[in-house]
Amino acid sequence: MIYDSHMDTPSQLLRLRNVETDNKYGHVDFPKLKRGGVDGAFFALYTPPQMAPDAATRYALEMLSATYDIADRNPDIAAITFSPAEAAKNREDGIISLFIGMENGSPIQENLSLLRTFYRLGVSYVTLTHNGDNAIADAASEGKKWNGLSPFGREVVKEMNKLGMMIDLSHASDKTFWDCMEFSKAPIIASHSCCRSLCGHRRNLTDDMLKALGEKDGYVGINFYPAFISSRFGEDPAEAALLDKAEEVDQYWRKCPSDPERTEAWHKMQDSLLEIWRPGVSDVVDHIDYAVKLAGIDHVGLGSDFDGICVGPKGLEDVSKIGAVAAEMSRRGYSKTDVDKVCGQNLMDVWQRVINCSELER
Ligand SMILES: [Zn+2]
């Protein structure tokens, strides 16, 4: 069983990714999801923090439309999925569940009605912030605007509890995290985050946070991005420069994805990134082990961040290889039940617990 709590494929759809074919470049498409044995994944509607709210709302809707389109064109392969119960039914039918998340709450502007409409359209979690502080809360990379959740952010938390939407604190500042732990009646998730004690990135979770997530019946999906797994990644100055360059090439391509020259530059960059030192599957499983020790076996999962990261770890270059995590866990002595929990069941279970806390039926 494999359910992943974070992939950035919707923004790749707007960059003209054809997910019906097996792409040489890119982490996620239907053939790779099938080969990887993936039962379902959260597709995140990611809007960059620099984008003004009106543009972000429009962009989120465009990504959502593109996601609906690929599901509608391939009804025998994938379906937009609104609940864990639907996911279980899809799994029986051999259909991949596409769950919708929103990464950066900026598209809801300061309007709870827009939040409700995104929920009606299938958005089941909101990552409150990306790397910039927004109207809802402070982010890990800034953390200056509100000292945690804004007054509007408290309203958002309340409304999400009422609707049964998951509150996702990956990218949030430490203070935002603790505010949400205090104000949310429902369990909290971090859809794609790692352990700060193993890799000192400010966006990774501290031991206290991991413990608190477990105690509050929440969930952390371990991110595969090499920079969150190991501080050795990009430490070499030449490699760090290449990573900066990769970001530039990505931005340039994003502005005009139909330009063959820009696409080619992105492809070349993808090849170069595979050459630099990267952590391996075993390093990813070290984060799983660590999170399991602190949060508990029922509260850890996979949040690969495929298609949102410039390169994967060694042995996890794209989603077709995601089964390597389960294999390494088994090798370390996890039971089949525990492997299934971490590779998917825990995500379905935390979602169901959040729905159970809500006042509505989904
Ligand atoms: Zn992210």
Euclidean distance between CA atoms 92 and 269, whole angstroms: 39
Q: Please tell me whether residue 102 adopts helix, strand or coil conformation.
A: strand
Which pLDDT score, from 0 to 100, does residue 361 have?
Answer: 66
Cα–ligand 1 centroid distance for 92 (angstroms):
30
CA separation, residue 160 to residues 114, 166, 213 (Å): 12, 7, 18
pTM of the model: 0.97
Of all helices (H) and strands (E), which one includes residue 40? strand 40-46
CA separation, residue 2 to residues 81, 91, 113, 114, 321 (Å): 15, 10, 33, 31, 12
Domain ranges, ordered by start, for the chain: 3-233+280-357, 235-277
What phi-psi label fits residue 333: left (phi over 0), alpha (psi between -120 and 50 degrees) or beta?
Answer: left
154-212, pLDDT tens digit by residue? 999 999 999 999 999 999 999 999 999 999 999 999 999 999 999 999 999 999 999 99
pLDDT > 80? residue 360? no
As beta bridge partners, residue 222 has 302
Cα–ligand 1 centroid distance for 304 (angstroms):
10
Cα–ligand 1 centroid distance for 243 (angstroms):
17
Cα–ligand 1 centroid distance for 192 (angstroms):
7
Q: How far apart are the first and last CA of the chain?
A: 23
Cα–ligand 1 centroid distance for 5 (angstroms):
11
Which pLDDT score, from 0 to 100, does residue 77 have?
Answer: 98
Pair of tokens at residue 214: 């477990």
27-43, pLDDT tens digit by residue? 999 999 999 999 999 99
Under 8 Å between Cβ of 97 and 109: no
Which pLDDT score, from 0 to 100, does residue 270 have?
Answer: 96
As beta bridge partners, residue 97 has 40, 79
Which pLDDT score, from 0 to 100, does residue 227 have?
Answer: 97
Cα–ligand 1 centroid distance for 132 (angstroms):
12
Residue linked to tokens 């089949």:
336
As beta bridge partners, residue 98 has 41, 80
> What mean pLDDT is predicted for residues 87-114?
98
Query: Pairing relation of β-strands 219-222 and 123-127?
Result: unpaired
Residue in 128, 150, 154 with CA at minimum distance from that of residue 139: 128
Cα–ligand 1 centroid distance for 246 (angstroms):
17
Of all helices (H) and strands (E), which one includes residue 42? strand 40-46
Residue linked to tokens 């939407």:
165
Cα–ligand 1 centroid distance for 360 (angstroms):
28
Cα–ligand 1 centroid distance for 31 (angstroms):
24
Cα–ligand 1 centroid distance for 327 (angstroms):
26
Residue linked to tokens 């949102």:
308
Cα–ligand 1 centroid distance for 268 (angstroms):
24
How large is the C-alpha radius of gyration of the chain? 19
Residue in 78, 355, 350 with CA at minimum distance from that of residue 191: 350
Cα–ligand 1 centroid distance for 93 (angstroms):
30
Residue 142 — pLDDT band, cuts 50, 70, 90? confident
Cα–ligand 1 centroid distance for 17 (angstroms):
19
Cα–ligand 1 centroid distance for 67 (angstroms):
18
Burial class (CB in 10 A: 0-12, 13-18, 19+), 58: middle
Cα–ligand 1 centroid distance for 171 (angstroms):
7
Euclidean distance between CA atoms 186 and 183, whole angstroms: 9
Euclidean distance between CA atoms 258 and 55, whole angstroms: 21
Which pLDDT score, from 0 to 100, does residue 198 have?
Answer: 98
Which pLDDT score, from 0 to 100, does residue 144 have?
Answer: 86
Cα–ligand 1 centroid distance for 303 (angstroms):
10
Count the Cβ atoms, other than its own, within 10 Å of residue 144. 9
pLDDT > 80? residue 146? yes
Cα–ligand 1 centroid distance for 103 (angstroms):
7
Handedness of CA 274, 309, 269, 326 (dihedral sign): positive
Which pLDDT score, from 0 to 100, does residue 362 have?
Answer: 65
Burial class (CB in 10 A: 0-12, 13-18, 19+), 251: exposed
Cα–ligand 1 centroid distance for 205 (angstroms):
14
The domain made up of 3-233+280-357 has a fold known as TIM Barrel (3.20.20)
Give the list of residues 6+ apart from residue 126 with CB closer than 8 angstroms, or none.
Answer: 101, 102, 105, 108, 115, 118, 156, 160, 165, 166, 167, 168
205-255, pLDDT tens digit by residue? 999 999 999 999 999 999 999 999 999 999 999 999 999 999 999 999 999
Cα–ligand 1 centroid distance for 306 (angstroms):
10
pLDDT > 70? residue 328? yes
30-83, pLDDT tens digit by residue? 999 999 999 999 999 999 999 999 999 999 999 999 999 999 999 999 999 999
Q: What is the largest CA-CA distance in the chain?
A: 53
Residue 143 — pLDDT band, cuts 50, 70, 90? confident
Cα–ligand 1 centroid distance for 293 (angstroms):
24
Cα–ligand 1 centroid distance for 227 (angstroms):
12
Cα–ligand 1 centroid distance for 308 (angstroms):
7
Pair of tokens at residue 127: 């990552």
pLDDT > 90? residue 359? no
How does DSSP classify residue 220? E
285-317, pLDDT tens digit by residue? 999 999 999 999 999 999 999 999 999 999 999
Pair of tokens at residue 255: 């502005």
Identity at 159, one-letter amino acid code: E
Cα–ligand 1 centroid distance for 315 (angstroms):
21
